[in-house]
Structure 1
């Protein structure tokens, strides 16, 4: 990723903005049932070990690009992204097939509650971290 950041810096005009936005694995994702007014937490969805390692490598690459004065940090934050599902079975299928998350949620409600609401709509609520990076002028 460091090479990619160097290439982006090369083609981005001085003062140009790079938006780095990616899932925030430092914060767990949540499996939630959609209710008429809000959501009910049903489980916690953890990030896979491989993706945790990839996220740490990306963090180090950004830090290095800032340290090497390719970019200046301008703004950073987090927002929540909802991934909707028509029912609990669809959410479970997504977890089995998705590489970012472990394949099973840690449920915080009992099996009877999951069965009773299995046909309700669900979402995975996950944090997305973003940072605005301004390209520094190249050294002359």
Structure 2
């Protein structure tokens, strides 16, 4: 990723902006049941172990180019992103095929509750962290 960031620095105009936005593996994802009153968490979802290593490598790459003074941080934060599903089976199928998440939910709702709501709508809510990076002029 460091090479890619150096290339971005090369082609980006001085003062140009780069947005680094990635799922935040430091925060658990949530399986949510959609109700008339909103969303209710019914379980948590962890990031797959392999992706934790990839995230750390990406963090180190961003830190390195900032230390090299190729970019400076303008703003950073976190927002929440929801992925909707028509039912519990669709959510579980998505997790089985998704490489970023562990393939199983750690349920906080009991088996009877899950059986009762299985055909309702669900979402996965996960944190996305971002950093707005400005290209520092004078470097090539």
The TM tier, using the shorter chain, reads over 0.9
* Aligned partners of 2:22 and 2:129 also within 8 Å: yes
Stretches of 4+ aligned residues off by more than 4 angstroms = none
- Find the counterpart in structure 2 of residue 134 from structure 1: 134
In the alignment, structure 2 segments of 5+ residues that lack a partner are none
Tell me by how many angstroms 1:37 deviates.
1.3
Specify the SS of the correspondent of 1:76. strand
Aligned residue pair count: 140
In 2, distance between residues paired with 1:71 and 1:138? 11
- Find the counterpart in structure 2 of residue 18 from structure 1: 18
Aligned-residue CA RMSD (Å): 0.9
In 2, distance between residues paired with 1:97 and 1:125? 17
* Aligned partners of 2:70 and 2:139 also within 8 Å: no
Within 5 A, what are the aligned runs for 1:74-113?
74-113=74-113
Tell me by how many angstroms 1:138 deviates.
3.2
In 2, distance between residues paired with 1:123 and 1:139? 44
Tell me by how many angstroms 1:38 deviates.
1.0
- Find the counterpart in structure 2 of residue 37 from structure 1: 37
